[in-house]
A and B are shown apart, each in its own frame.
Chain A
């Protein structure tokens, strides 16, 4: 940055934190596009991660799923399927990036604290302080069939186990003395008993960054108590501001400041040279995401019955959903399928929409659509008005889906003084402006930012 130009702080604008989500397993990835390449080859991950680093993003994010989704008792075949194991992949990405944070989603239900704390501390060492862990939990026995522990935990137990899991990992990460020796850990909790020495020295970030995704009251409370970043679905301005105020308001009870937890909604974007062109492209992307087959599938997720005899371009089924159906496995359960079906029918009648058009209208709305100028302005407004601290961008295409954003929107955010023009620190905590966890005496000068 030239010295004549006022720095972002001088201009008093909040900085936007940016992250990139690998467009993995789902129907939002437009795999039928001729530009779509491998979902599993390392080159695809490398391209996206390097692009995110070129855009000076905070981190690169990988989701996880421990069982392939099934429909009618068979593996679901319409979505992108198949992905690598996150932590291993991120260790490889550490070799081809220098500054980018590397965030792995790892389930706290089907792992054990000692092993995972060791794997994450290893990633933090091998990346020079760029590791993050997105803590998720699983409630279904369907996923449990792939694991020794099997079974599942009810909702409340999932979060108590996750909270104890994170606390135990932090005990292990904190267990080295100033003299560089391990101090034995002796943890006896409701879910875990861990006794012994942690064999990995304190990692560059002290603790890898902890991310939490989930929106239930238990999830929000868990994030307020234990997370550094919360990955949310609330991308709209009103819902975003309400969520932001609620979660930030919960921090004081845990002795934390609002800046200690970054709120980053997962968002999509569609760019065009004109507003009309962007809208047209967004509509085309939705048509590709919701193919006729995918429209029927989406309806079957709600109705819980075989709808293959229905015409996706015809009206919605006039039968009632089966609330006890186990047709779809491995997807989020819909609490009240009849209410959803009724609302779909009402929308379809009011607007004269076919089944497929109704699915397009009700699911997976694009977050930011417009010219690069409009998207930059809208993102900036979200952050300045307290709807988010930044965004986790979910591109539509692998691996080129982030290119246009980095080439066209990032420079505009930089001009607005809300996005860095170079990395000022080397660790993910530095990028996020997060405090170092309880620094040990004599090590306070590491990673100053």
Chain B
């Protein structure tokens, strides 16, 4: 199989290791810990870092942590998980848009859901719902968030002193979204973010064809319809490659350019020594050569140790082999990923009419 046309993309998860019985580590609540890891990742010219989140997960709000990290980095993409089940879609949209503003165009968002009764009990508003149902809703939240990001056209702010108008209100739009469980009127309170739309990330497992659970099929549909980046948890390059092909085919069925969906293999990695770091570089080379993915999302068992070994051990080997860039060419996460800045749907509709 020939190499995919785009360069190798590399991302790393900063999620704290799961430590049964001892889940609360002071470092998980310390800004300096995350700032140090993010700067390290930036030195390794990684495309982005992810930080997982759920209401039951010990630790700080992931989007808050990456907003705190934003001014301490220049190029690195920042991708927190934000859940959609017990939250307000309007708030999710404005928080992610704000992360894009404070990072000057480096925000992404991993769409998350809550499926447990334990999470539901923290809110007391609704019972836990089957995964397929909450993922359908998550797809709607991703959809309305993107509409809200578009609800201001890029040139809506005019500051026209002659007429006294700060904005051209013809360039602000009600989204009037009706989903299965919520409605949103719009427009957003936040102007369109620097990337137009922050990068939407959806994490899937294997291929939908193999998946018995209806939730997995919904999840693949959500990724194909709304994601800019899909993270595929697969144990071998064949499964990852098949998932990539399938997701792109589904994206095409949604009227999208299949090339606009970046598919990364998401791998747990145990890095304890320099030898492990070089071993990882070999594995990445092999999977990449097999066309398994457009790149990799690495999940070190212990980020505090693993990110350092990745950046100082794996990255130099990949660069030496010509697989990984030596510096950032662009300024935004979309630019790192080779994704165009999306045209504004309302501006397009206006121009078409």
Interface residues of A in 55-103 (CB under 8 A from B): 65-68, 74-85, 87-89, 91-92, 94-96
Q: Mark B84-104, 1 if CB is under 8 A from A, else 0.
A: 001111110011011101111
Tell me if A147 counts as interface (CB < 8 A to partner B).
yes
Complex Cα spacing A112 to B68, Å: 23
Tell me if A245 counts as interface (CB < 8 A to partner B).
no
Instruction: Establish whether residues A95 and B165, one from each chain, have CB atoms under 8 Å apart when the complex forms.
Output: no
A129 CB, nearest partner CB in chain B, Å = 12
Instruction: Establish whether residues A82 and B65, one from each chain, have CB atoms under 8 Å apart when the complex forms.
Output: no
Complex Cα spacing A112 to B122, Å: 9
Interface residues of A in 94-152 (CB under 8 A from B): 94-96, 110-112, 114-115, 118-119, 121-123, 125-128, 145-148, 150
Instruction: Establish whether residues A67 and B185, one from each chain, have CB atoms under 8 Å apart when the complex forms.
Output: yes
Which residue from A79, A82, A95, A192 sits with its C-beta under 8 Å from B191? Answer: A82
Instruction: Establish whether residues B169 and A114, one from each chain, have CB atoms under 8 Å apart when the complex forms.
Output: no
Instruction: Establish whether residues A88 and B98, one from each chain, have CB atoms under 8 Å apart when the complex forms.
Output: yes
A95-B68 contact, Cβ under 8 Å, with A66-B189, A125-B29, A196-B121: yes
A396 CB, nearest partner CB in chain B, Å = 15
Tell me if A8 counts as interface (CB < 8 A to partner B).
no
B17 CB, nearest partner CB in chain A, Å = 16
Describe A's contact surface by its main secondary structure: loop
Instruction: Establish whether residues A145 and B185, one from each chain, have CB atoms under 8 Å apart when the complex forms.
Output: yes
Instruction: Establish whether residues A125 and B172, one from each chain, have CB atoms under 8 Å apart when the complex forms.
Output: no
Interface residues of B in 13-33 (CB under 8 A from A): 24, 29-31
Which residue from B95, B122, B124, B182 sits with its C-beta under 8 Å from A85? Answer: B95
Complex Cα spacing A111 to B87, Å: 8
Interface residues of A in 131-186 (CB under 8 A from B): 145-148, 150, 180-181
Instruction: Establish whether residues B164 and A294, one from each chain, have CB atoms under 8 Å apart when the complex forms.
Output: yes
A contacts with B, residue count (CB < 8 A): 63
A145-B183 contact, Cβ under 8 Å, with A88-B102, A95-B72, A199-B58: yes
Which residue from A40, A112, A150, A196 sits with its C-beta under 8 Å from B125? Answer: A112
Q: Chain A CB within 10 Å — which of B90, B95, B101, B122 has the most?
A: B122
A146-B69 contact, Cβ under 8 Å, with A85-B95, A111-B91: no
Interface residues of A in 198-248 (CB under 8 A from B): 199-201
Tell me if A193 counts as interface (CB < 8 A to partner B).
yes
A66 contacts across to B, CB distance below 8 A: 90, 189
Complex Cα spacing A95 to B74, Å: 13
Which residue from A65, A67, A95, A292 sits with its C-beta under 8 Å from B164? Answer: A292
A294 contacts across to B, CB distance below 8 A: 164
A86 CB, nearest partner CB in chain B, Å = 8
Tell me if A368 counts as interface (CB < 8 A to partner B).
no
Complex Cα spacing A125 to B58, Å: 14
A149 CB, nearest partner CB in chain B, Å = 8
B108 CB, nearest partner CB in chain A, Å = 14
Complex Cα spacing A122 to B64, Å: 7
Stretch at the interface among B3-11, B155-163, B211-219: B155-163
Tell me if B341 counts as interface (CB < 8 A to partner A).
no
Instruction: Establish whether residues A126 and B64, one from each chain, have CB atoms under 8 Å apart when the complex forms.
Output: yes
Q: Mark B184-205, 1 if CB is under 8 A from A, else 0.
A: 1111011100000000000000
Complex Cα spacing A385 to B95, Å: 42
Complex Cα spacing A398 to B163, Å: 21
A42 contacts across to B, CB distance below 8 A: 71, 101-102, 104
A84-B190 contact, Cβ under 8 Å, with A77-B166, A194-B122: yes
A83-B166 contact, Cβ under 8 Å, with A89-B67, A92-B67: no
Tell me if A365 counts as interface (CB < 8 A to partner B).
no
Tell me if B296 counts as interface (CB < 8 A to partner A).
no
Where the two chains meet, the residues of B that have a C-beta atom closer than 8 Å to any C-beta of A are: 24, 29-31, 35, 55-61, 63-65, 67-72, 86-91, 94-95, 97-99, 101-104, 118, 121-125, 152, 157, 159, 161, 163-169, 172, 181-187, 189-191
Q: Could you give 9 example pairs across A and B, Cβ below 8 Å?
A: A82-B191, A85-B91, A85-B98, A88-B98, A94-B31, A146-B90, A150-B183, A194-B124, A201-B29
Where the two chains meet, the residues of A that have a C-beta atom closer than 8 Å to any C-beta of B are: 31-32, 40-42, 46, 65-68, 74-85, 87-89, 91-92, 94-96, 110-112, 114-115, 118-119, 121-123, 125-128, 145-148, 150, 180-181, 192-196, 199-201, 291-294
For the complex of A and B, the 3 pairs showing the least CB-CB separation, nearest first, are A193-B124, A92-B102, A91-B67
Add 13 more A-B contacts to A118-B61, A147-B184 (CB < 8 A): A32-B159, A40-B101, A40-B190, A46-B71, A66-B90, A82-B157, A89-B101, A94-B31, A114-B55, A126-B68, A148-B181, A181-B24, A193-B121
